[in-house]
Amino acid sequence: MARPQPKFTETEINEIQEYLRKEKTKSGYKKLMTLKYKAIDHMTSEEVGKQLGYCKDNINQIVKRYKEKGMVALLHPHYGGNRRYLSFKEEEEFLETFNKQAESGQMLEVSDITKACREKIGRNVATSMIYMMLQRHDWRKVMPRSKHPNKADDETIMAYKKNH
């Protein structure tokens, strides 16, 4: 038994035609052509697939998403480039507490910053995200010296030990 063809209203058909005239991206145009072939030309999913290079399941998904959520679900990207959890200003305020600790001479570890960030955001945060945040705010990795710069050489130390 064949799958029932979706019914498109006159306003949906007009919307599809209007967006087809305006669309500039290739992927968006192909999705709109899928809707046009299904709504206006009443083609089957197999026929549309041969025309556009989609499989029939993909075509059915496109139609389903359009019917459920409209054009926004098809044409607007759902992935953003900036996946920060905090704005730059919020990050600055968050790091201010750690900046005070560093200025007072306390040791800071990224694990402590990560733990505090996870508590503030309320979800798991990758350590790499913390390192990127620190780099955005011009923090740098400073480690304690292994020895004092004015430390005497080994011979002087041994001579001192012999005399005392």
The reply to whether 151 falls in a domain is no
Which pLDDT does position 163 carry in this prediction? 86
Q: Are 116 and 108 in contact (CB under 8 A)?
A: no
Total domains in the chain come to 2
Q: Which tokens sit at 10? A: 């006159």
In a domain, 69, yes or no: yes
For the question of whether the overall pTM of this predicted structure is more than 0.75, the answer is no
Give the model's pLDDT for residue 81: 58
Q: What does the block give as tokens for 12?
A: 């949906």
Query: What is the span of the domain harbouring residue 108?
Result: 88-136
53 shares a domain with 94: no
Residues with Cβ within 8 Å of residue 34, at least 6 apart in sequence = 48, 52, 54, 59, 62, 63
22 inside domain = yes
- Let me know whether 71 and 120 are in one domain: no
Residue that finishes a domain, picked among 75, 109, 128: 75
pLDDT given at position 78: 65
Ranges under pLDDT 50 in the chain: none
Q: Does 154 map to a domain?
A: no
Q: What is the pLDDT of residue 2?
A: 64
> Does residue 127 form part of some domain?
yes
Report if residue 129 sits inside a domain: yes
| pLDDT score at 86 | 86
Where helices occur in 9-126 by DSSP H, the ranges are 10-22, 26-39, 45-52, 56-69, 71-75, 88-103, 110-121
How many CA atoms within 13 Å lie on the side-chain side of 143? Answer: 3
92 and 66 in a single domain? The answer is: no
Helix axes 45-52, 26-39, angle to 10 degrees: 150
Confirm whether 3 is domain-assigned.
Answer: no
In a domain, 28, yes or no: yes
